[in-house]
């Protein structure tokens, strides 16, 4: 099963590989052609692997904040969030390597009240400056309890495109797919002080399954 955001990339890659392989038939010496065949097969395999979209058993709950992305939790820190929460918050940062599943999922049930796309740089996603300097999409969700949760998709050195399919005013359901980031990226989730963080730096997060935090009713 593949992410719909990858259909065009998969198609273009396969066509490119077929063209290169067709040209390679006429290249001398013949061992060069075999190298090109192998390279094209590896390229197609990587693209198919990158855009995989495995079935997930979603962690459900009225007061949970689940991971919106697969990856390693590289940072948990206290910050001042001035865009949506407008006050102190705990930031949980997840780094996605090119080998992680890049399909993103809604971290919390609620109404999407804030949405802003910010142009920026393309620092490596594991660089903590990427949260503020890189190109990103910011989202603010108001949970039914009134608690505000903020999260952002962040480009990386290789990830040059962010895709999302939600809009301001939408009613969001935890665990539903909402987009993806292509080829290595970062996801930040920010929660206010009254929300209990349930993870630690260095842990592996799984989109739709790992509970990052719990909203106290």
Q: Which residues are catalytic?
A: 185
Contacts of 198 (CB under 8 A, 6+ apart): 211, 212, 213, 214
∠ at Cα 102 (209, 196), nearest 5°?
35
Provide the β-strand partners of residue 142: 111, 148
> How many angstroms separate the CA atoms of 193 and 51, rounded?
35
Contacts of 104 (CB under 8 A, 6+ apart): 68, 69, 153, 164, 177, 178, 179, 180, 181, 187, 207
Radius of gyration of the chain (CA): 19
52: left (phi over 0), alpha (psi -120 to 50) or beta: beta
**Biggest CA pair distance of the chain:** 71
């Amino acid at each position: 099963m593949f992410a719909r955001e990858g259909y065009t990339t998969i198609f273009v890659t396969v066509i490119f590989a077929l063209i290169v392989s067709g040209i390679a038939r006429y290249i001398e010496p013949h061992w060069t052609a075999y190298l090109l065949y192998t390279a094209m097969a590896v390229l197609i395999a990587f693209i198919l692997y990158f855009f995989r979209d495995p079935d997930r058993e979603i962690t459900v709950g009225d007061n949970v904040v689940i991971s919106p992305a697969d990856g390693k939790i590289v940072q948990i820190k206290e910050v001042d969030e001035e865009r949506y929460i407008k006050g102190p918050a705990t930031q949980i940062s997840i780094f996605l390597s090119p080998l992680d599943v890049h399909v993103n999922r809604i971290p919390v049930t609620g109404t999407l009240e804030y949405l802003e796309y910010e142009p920026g740089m393309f620092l490596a996603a594991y660089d903590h400056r990427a949260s503020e300097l890189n190109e990103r999409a910011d989202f603010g969700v108001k949970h039914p309890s009134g608690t505000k949760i903020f999260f952002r998709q962040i480009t990386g050195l290789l990830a040059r495109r962010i895709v999302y399919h939600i809009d301001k005013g939408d009613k969001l359901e935890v665990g539903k797919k909402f987009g993806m980031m292509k080829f290595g990226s970062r996801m930040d989730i920010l929660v206010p002080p009254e929300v209990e963080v349930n993870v630690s730096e260095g842990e592996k997060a799984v989109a739709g399954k790992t509970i990052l935090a719990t909203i106290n009713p």
